[in-house]
Structure 1
Amino acid sequence: MITEVRIPNIAESISEVTIASLLVSSGSIIQENQGILEIESDKLNQLIYAPISGKISWKVSEGDVVAVGGLVATIEETQESSETLEILEREPVEAEIIRFPSDQKPPYQGKRFVPLKEKKSLRDTSERGEIRERMSSIRKTISRRLVSSLHESAMLTTFNEIYMTPCIQLRKEKQERFMEKFGVKLGYMSFFVKAVLEGLKAYPRLHAYISGEEIVYRQYYDICLAIGTDRGLVAPVIRDCQQLSSGEIEQKLADLAIRAREGQLSLAELEGGGFTITNGGVYGSLLSTPILNPPQVGILGMHKIEKRPVVLDGEIVIADMMYVALSYDHRIIDGKEAVGFLVKVKESIEHPEALLEL
């Protein structure tokens, strides 16, 4: 019996996908529910599993663009696959890893697109060579959306700095108890999510969006948290943040971060959101201007915490400071509102006790 493997209908907004990686070779004996194929769309990556055991025959190659419902492989159920499955169930064994010499070259001549992970292993054979890398669907979408954001919004950025020492001290004091209660570390992001909530409640236009000639005000608080991955930047949503404790926010963030880097986020987790927080500080950024995530009209950029001399209570002291940046859409948000929002966030972080529930 031969079974066809087709691209599933992931979501209404996705009509085609790119074949990111074939995880087994054509002619291989595979097992039911084994991961065989990774696909990527302009929104997410997804693993496709074998519906049955048998010998697989690919109808596509890596890099191909295939419509939803398109045929990608056939699986022939064979006696060999049945016997293999029976042996595996009876006596599991460790798989042997076979490595080929690094200097082994493929017989194919001409241009060849390779996965990013292989690029660093390629050796330049000329004095002034070039390596071409195919843009992934996610990278093309990021590129298109960023350019669109700059063209379709009146984006401005305002800056402030936050005295982080009180937050650092509180985090250090409560870390052990927080870990015991919630099973995750207390980071800075939960403080900033809580501070942003205070700012959005005081300045609701920063949580609104434009629809035609109307301004639509959201009555809920879904916050996007930008996460860097090997495939590009994604911004999964933590929904109804106003109902979550600091521990619940950190738990959700830890889970989203792991699955984002593994390419396991669902489409629903990437859609929506009324405001975005991004943290360039984890990469060492001291100051930047974050770009809006449309149709959102506000995004907060966190940065590196750095010790520097500042004046506090009339004296010069060494303090832990962080620059923060708020990019906003000037079409519906005035500078007064933007500055007021950022000051609200600053004041909340500088008095962190009210933000932490234990």
Structure 2
Amino acid sequence: MSIDIKAPVFPESVAEGTVATWHKQPGEACSRDELIVDIETDKVVIEVVAPADGVIEEIIKGEGDTVESGELIGRFKEGAAAAAPAAAKAEPAQASAPAAEAASADVVLSPAARKLAEEKGVDVSAVKGTGKSGLVTKEDVQNHVDGQKTTAPAAAAAAPAAQVELPAGQRPEKRVPMTRLRASIAKRLLSAQQNAAMLTTFNEVNMKPLMDLRKQYKDGFEKRHGIKLGFMSLFVKAATEALKRFPMVNASIDGNDIVYHGYQDIGVAVSSDRGLVVPVLRDTDSMGLADVEKKIVEYGTKARDGKLGIEEMTGGTFTISNGGVFGSLMSTPILNPPQTAILGMHKIQERPMAVNGEVVILPMMYLALSYDHRMIDGKEAVQFLVAIKEMVEDPARILLDV
């Protein structure tokens, strides 16, 4: 029986998508719920799985084609068996076939792991699965690839790179279309600059108290909660307290109205291979440090695997971006509309500072707050940033609410 393969029903905020990757080709066997095609929207990648056991009968929308919600993209034949290659029919199996091939048939891989293994040319029989019942995950394949890189012989590493001879004067170029996510990011960032009176104020913060606190409690924290204590969770809690004291920074503009939010939903910018995404931590006032850290790790994993849902990236009343993880010393972050402010964290760098008339070397970080001047006055922006600075330099203020 032939079954139509249709694009999923997109949320109201998503008009259309693009066929990113067909993981199965016509005539290729599929198991029920096995990944067959990825649909990329301007927010997330949506996976379409096989409706039953059978084969792909026809592909109507190829990779790169634009599709609308619920549009027909292919056909699936239920219960059919994959057509055996002609060469396989004509030639009997060789007794001398590599043992790895026989072993790989018994390895159970997730769809994402299979795709990565094919791209990297990995022998899956050599990969140890850490998933349920020995399932090989995408992370297992990536770790195997990374391990091969680090254990490569020194002689091979020292071998001269292959020389590619180009005719004199040739200047090669490569043109590729933007992904939907990248195009959406570009559109939103340009709109933010054009439609807001954006201004940035800076301050610097002494990170030593926070670093001493983390050093003192990190082992006990990890033992109790099963997650490492990072700086981001402490900044999230400091920002949450500051937002409660300065509700204008936690508000947004809707036409000619100001919308004050009685909750704190903080977006945390996460970098992925597809671009920058901003998943949202909901009700951070009621979250503990461990809850924040676990959620950030979860979002980072989902962003890397393209698994973030649209509901996880919508909303948000404030955003924190940490360019310091990439070595940025100072920057001016761009607003994430309709929010009216964004906090930029940067690299921790030791600098000579004057303390009580003496020069002391301290680990310092520049903080940047970009804000919409239509909504927030300079006085409020500076006071908000100073409040965060004071709480970071004296973490007890967060607990005592002073």
SS at 1:38's partner residue?
strand
Give the corresponding residue for 1:93.
Answer: 106
Shift of 1:223: 0.4
Which protein shows a greater Rg?
A: 2
Shift of 1:234: 0.3
Q: How does 1:248-327 map to 2 (within 5 A)?
A: 248-327=291-370
Mapped to 2, the partners of 1:21 and 1:310 lie a distance apart of 54
Give the corresponding residue for 1:4.
Answer: 4
Shift of 1:30: 1.0
Mapped to 2, the partners of 1:227 and 1:182 lie a distance apart of 23
Mapped to 1, the partners of 2:205 and 2:80 lie a distance apart of 68
Contact 1:223–1:237 (CA under 8 A) maintained in structure 2 = yes
Contact 2:10–2:16 (CA under 8 A) maintained in structure 1 = no
SS at 1:324's partner residue?
strand
- Aligned partner of 2:11: which letter? A
User: Are 1:59 and 2:72 matched, yes or no?
Assistant: no
Give the corresponding residue for 2:258.
Answer: 215
- Structure 2 vs 1, CA of residues 79 and 272 (structure 1 numbering), >3 Å: closer, same or farther? closer
User: Are 1:152 and 2:165 matched, yes or no?
Assistant: no
TM-score for the superposition, normalised by structure 2:
0.78
TM-score for the superposition, normalised by structure 1:
0.87
Give the corresponding residue for 2:43.
Answer: 43
Give the corresponding residue for 1:131.
Answer: 174
Q: Deviations over 1:258-282 (max 9, x none)?
A: 1011110111001000000000000
Mapped to 1, the partners of 2:165 and 2:325 lie a distance apart of 33
Give the corresponding residue for 2:394.
Answer: 351
User: Are 1:190 and 2:191 matched, yes or no?
Assistant: no
Q: Whose relative contact order is higher, 1 or 2, with alpha carbons under 8 Å and at least 6 apart?
A: 1
- Aligned partner of 1:203: which letter? F
- Aligned partner of 1:276: which letter? T
Mapped to 1, the partners of 2:388 and 2:270 lie a distance apart of 21
Mapped to 2, the partners of 1:100 and 1:216 lie a distance apart of 49
Shift of 1:164: 0.2
Give the corresponding residue for 1:112.
Answer: none
User: Are 1:25 and 2:68 matched, yes or no?
Assistant: no
SS at 2:233's partner residue?
helix
CA RMSD of aligned residues (A): 2.4
Give the corresponding residue for 2:69.
Answer: 68
- Aligned partner of 1:61: which letter? G
Q: Deviations over 1:61-97 (max 9, x none)?
A: 111110111111111124426xxxxxxxxxx723797
The answer for unaligned runs of 5 or more in structure 1 is 82-91, 102-122
- Aligned partner of 1:14: which letter? V
- Aligned partner of 1:94: which letter? V
Shift of 1:190: 0.7
1:238 paired residue among 277, 281, 286: 281
Identity %: 45
Aligned residues, how many? 329
- Structure 2 vs 1, CA of residues 356 and 253 (structure 1 numbering), >3 Å: closer, same or farther? farther
- Aligned partner of 1:187: which letter? G
Mapped to 1, the partners of 2:120 and 2:360 lie a distance apart of 59
Mapped to 1, the partners of 2:52 and 2:166 lie a distance apart of 44
Shift of 1:15: 2.4
Give the corresponding residue for 1:116.
Answer: none
- Aligned partner of 2:67: which letter? V
